[in-house]
Amino acid sequence: MPRFSLTIIFLIASLLISSIEAKKESPPADFARKQIESLPKNDIWWTKNGETMLWSFKNLHTIFPTVTVHRSGAVKELEIAIDESIGLTQVPTKLGNMELNSFLESDESTAISVLILHKGRVVFERYPRMKAHEKPVHWSVTKVLVSALVAILEAKNKVNVELSIDYYIPELSGSDFMGIKIKNILDMATGINCPEEYINKSACYYIYSASIGDGYWDERSPDNPYEYISKLDVGKYSDQGKEYDYSGVNTFVLGWLVERVTGLQLHEAASEMIWSKIGAEADAAFFAPRYGVPVIHGGLLARPRDLARFGLLFTPSHNVVTERPLIAEAHIERLLYQGRPELLASQENLPEGVKHNTYQWDFVFEDGTLYKGGWAGQGVMVNPIHDYVFVWNSYFKDKEESETKLTPIMFYLAKNLIREKSE
């Protein structure tokens, strides 16, 4: 028999064997089922660390129902102008200084994605643990999308943040939110005794989280967050406007405000007022486990590039994605210079250079950087002065959180890049 015939026979046999072996592999449905089944059944589902956390962050649409935040029109392409020196920057890790590129790909990191824009152009982009088209959850980064909606309505004179929230939502007149000014809700300074609490199942925040479907819901939980918050009676730890105390309940109330003023559900308002106007590559979504109510305090699923397009709205390069400014210059000035430093006076271990918090942004730095973080290592930073946008996503490696955290690395990188470009 000719040698070529033997070769062909061998190749065919190899393909058949490979096909048989492939059939032995678990189909995608089985893998997804096993991942979902590994999540906690009687407690907050998102506390499972490691590879399961990584998978769930990228596949939240597989676990829960979602509601769509629609894009519209032509995609506004982002110019690619990669600055190779960024990837070569030495960054501090637990193992000592490492090049950024090496760190992101190493076992020391749990980075899912990192994207940096300067003057509207992509200067750094890495997806070490995801594909560029995927839509990871950005957790509490979502909060500044909600506050941006409030700011847009404020600029149109449809919302007055000096008024109390029950002026717009009378249902809150019988709750602890009665008389609380909207500006104090925006700045996490309500004085209401409902801080973030993920362990005590009788705590205000835990109950709220269960009611919206972000936490573990059972038959003893409130049916929905509107019902729970309209009757909220947990008392005050201080007078409003005196002290910062972080709580996603505040963000939900702001979302309720947007819904009441616009007559739209929150995801519809986000579509109409922002996402359909920024030339996004893809629809975004909120996960919405109960009754289609978006998890307003931290449930946005979006491509990193599209979140960066949102970030551009706060920079001089907003015209890259929208013909007309969506965020008023007066609002950006307010973010940069009109915060209340006294709200953070009692906070410990603040990063160096923090001036204040405001409008759901965790920190505003002296160099003009606005930062909003998300649980387990998500973040967005925008600098309206130096025209930067940073977007990143990561997860926890294990219960000990033994990885080198990505967020401090982003702080370090932003500080050095901004200083370098300013010189």
Lowest mean pLDDT among 66-70, 118-122, 218-222, 255-259: 218-222
Q: Which tokens in the block code for residue 378?
A: 């998500």
What is the pLDDT, as a whole number, of residue 320?
98
Residues 233-263 as b/e (b if ≥16 CB within 10 A, e otherwise) read: eeeeeeebbbbbbbbbbbbbbbbbbbbebbe
Classify domain 84-422 at the CATH class level: alpha beta
Average pLDDT of span 404-416? 96
Q: Would you say the C-alpha torsion 76, 81, 82, 85 has a positive or negative sign? A: negative
Residue 158 confidence (pLDDT) above 80:
yes
Query: Mean pLDDT of all residues in the chain?
Result: 92
Burial class (CB in 10 A: 0-12, 13-18, 19+), 410: buried
Give residue limits of the domains in the chain. 84-422
What is the pLDDT, as a whole number, of residue 26?
59
Average pLDDT of span 87-114? 97
| DSSP secondary structure string for all residues of 340-405 | -GGGGTT--SPPTTEEEEETTEEEEETTS-EEEEETTTEEEEEETTTTEEEEEEE--SSTT--SPP
CA distances from residue 140 to 248, 251, 309, 374, 397 in whole angstroms, order as listed = 8, 10, 18, 4, 19
Whether 216 and 222 have beta carbons less than 8 Å apart is answered as: no
Q: Which tokens in the block code for residue 245?
A: 């105390």
| Backbone torsions φ then ψ of 365, nearest 5 degrees | -90, 160
Identify any residues that bridge with 381 across adjacent strands, giving them in sequence order: 371, 390
Give residue-wise pLDDT tens across range 302-353.
999 999 999 999 999 999 999 899 999 999 999 999 999 999 999 999 999 9
What is the pLDDT, as a whole number, of residue 37?
83
Confidence of residue 423 (pLDDT cuts 50, 70, 90): low
Give residue-wise pLDDT tens across range 111-121.
999 999 999 99
In angstroms, the CA 372 to CA 286 distance is: 18
Average pLDDT of span 76-86? 97
What is the pLDDT, as a whole number, of residue 40?
77
Identify any residues that bridge with 285 across adjacent strands, giving them in sequence order: 68, 301
Q: In angstroms, how far is CA 88 from the centroid of its own chain?
A: 27
What is the pLDDT, as a whole number, of residue 53?
94
Whether 286 and 308 have beta carbons less than 8 Å apart is answered as: no
Average pLDDT of span 95-113? 97
Helical axes 248-262 vs 204-212, angle rounded to 10° = 50
Lowest mean pLDDT among 31-40, 133-142, 301-310, 394-403: 31-40
Residue 193 confidence (pLDDT) above 90:
yes
Q: Which tokens in the block code for residue 275?
A: 């996402």
The 8-class DSSP code of residue 275 comes to: G
| DSSP secondary structure string for all residues of 236-263 | BSS-TTS-----HHHHHHHHHHHHHHHS
